[in-house]
Structure 1
Amino acid sequence: MNDVIRVVLADDHALVRAGLEQLLAGSGDISVVGTAADGEQAVDLACSLQPDVVLMDLQMPGVDGVSATREIRSRAAGVDVLVLTSYSDGGRILAALDAGAVGYLLKDAEPDEVMEGIRAVRRGESPLHPKAARQLLGARTGETGVELTPREHAVLELLRDGFSHHEVARRLGLSERTVKAHLISACARIGVADSDAAVEWLRRQGT
């Protein structure tokens, strides 16, 4: 059972929750330990059950997915949030990443992509749907000013100085998953596809 990834599903559509639960039940290595119909329930389940991953929709009544993600990261820091939504606009993606989501998938993804996204989060990776990545890059086209958060800037600085993800995490007092979440958010803000390009961008800024 130690290899089973424990997941909470958060989506306001009962049919979607049921479909996802059935899909994940057949994976062999993913177990749905709870389902939530809104953000408030998702936060409560994340805190009480301490799953490995919360698969989070964004548009829900009451507490939305972005607010719920922020609350989970604050109150259940060991729980990772993976967004699964219909929305691929750059603003929503950045808002979710800013709130602490470690990955962003779209509901038009293939079933195997959803399962692999959950596994990627468990491995400490930050899965990003290709369509969402293109939207982020498009949203950055023509922008002259990029403002990173202090934490994103610190992560890039340490990577620029030659530190590994593990070393960056240790120096900043973060988990490696959180470091990678900050990194993917920084890449999205800058409008680049990977950490090497983000570090090169930082070098060009002279900061």
Structure 2
Amino acid sequence: MQREEITTMPGEGQRRDHAPNIRLMLVDDHLLFREGIHSLLRKHSDIEVVAEASGGRQAVELASDTLPDVILLDLNMPGMDGIEVCQRLRSCSASTRIIILTISRDLSSIVEAVRAGASGYLTKDTGSSELVDTVRRVYHEGNLLEPILADRLLAEFSHLSNLTEKEGFEAGLFATLSPRETEILKLVAGGKANKVIAAELNISEHTVRNHISNIFQKLQVNDRTEAAVLAVKRGLI
């Protein structure tokens, strides 16, 4: 059995309180791929690769030690795959945001990864600029799915959702939203970033963040994906 590789970058340990960089860990069983991504990210001063691992078990161990902000995680690895890694990281490093990076466009894999705790999903044919942008947006905004795949994911959630007694309860939650909050929720569900929403509505990003925080509280959800799923179910988009 091939020994899984663990690499901690020089000088790294626990999370630094005043570090402005996005602390990122790479997890992929192909060394050449990791080296390519590392070389790409080295060009961006706001992103710092603090660790690398070639397998899921070591990734969980290393994440507990280095506490990265973001993990780029291969979905299809031998042994412990990306889905199980996501599930384990939710208990040992809940604040870490995970971006699944894989060759697969299988919808069931996307749904399973998001349910397991992934914050974003990109295919390995994604361009370098989009990958870097996704790392930044997931770090700052929490959840982000590749636009085309996001549409399919939301449609799948909508299709799978059974309108039971929860329908009346959810309708009551939506009734508490103000017209402005409903407008912003539609834009969030459409995959718009805070900066874009602010520009479209001619308000500040700070105001957008406040509205989104209120939306999460009123709808009793934890992130943008959950809010978007409810918006789809209610027919807002």
Aligned identity (percent) is: 34
| 1:133 maps onto 2:150 in alignment | yes
Asked whether the equivalents of residues 58 and 65 of structure 1 are also in contact (C-alpha less than 8 Å), the reply is yes
Residues 3-43 of structure 1, C-alpha deviations (whole Å, 9 max, x = no match): 21000011111111111111111111100000111111111
5+ residue gaps, structure 1: 149-153, 188-194, 203-207
Asked whether the equivalents of residues 56 and 81 of structure 2 are also in contact (C-alpha less than 8 Å), the reply is yes
Q: What's the offset of the Cα at 1:78? A: 1.0
Aligned match of 1:166: 213
Larger radius of gyration: 2
State the Cα RMSD in Å: 3.1
Asked whether the equivalents of residues 9 and 56 of structure 1 are also in contact (C-alpha less than 8 Å), the reply is yes
Aligned match of 1:98: 115
Question: 2:105, 2:32 → 1: CA distance?
Answer: 21
Which protein, 1 or 2, shows the higher relative CO under an 8 Å CA cutoff with sep ≥ 6?
A: 1
**Number of matched residues?**
183
Q: Which amino acid aligns with 2:122?
A: L
Asked whether the equivalents of residues 160 and 199 of structure 1 are also in contact (C-alpha less than 8 Å), the reply is no
Structure 2 residue aligned with 1:73, among 83, 90, 93?
Answer: 90
Asked whether the equivalents of residues 71 and 96 of structure 2 are also in contact (C-alpha less than 8 Å), the reply is yes
5+ residue gaps, structure 2: 1-17, 164-168, 182-210
Q: What's the offset of the Cα at 1:95? A: 0.2
1:1-207 mapped onto 2 (5 Å cutoff): 2-133=19-150, 135-136=152-153, 143=159, 145-147=160-162, 158=173, 161-162=176-177, 164-167=211-214, 169=216, 178-183=222-227, 186=229, 195=231, 198=232, 200-201=234-235
> Taking structure 1 as reference, are residues 140 and 155 closer, same or farther at Cα in structure 2, changes over 3 Å only?
closer
> Taking structure 1 as reference, are residues 85 and 31 closer, same or farther at Cα in structure 2, changes over 3 Å only?
same
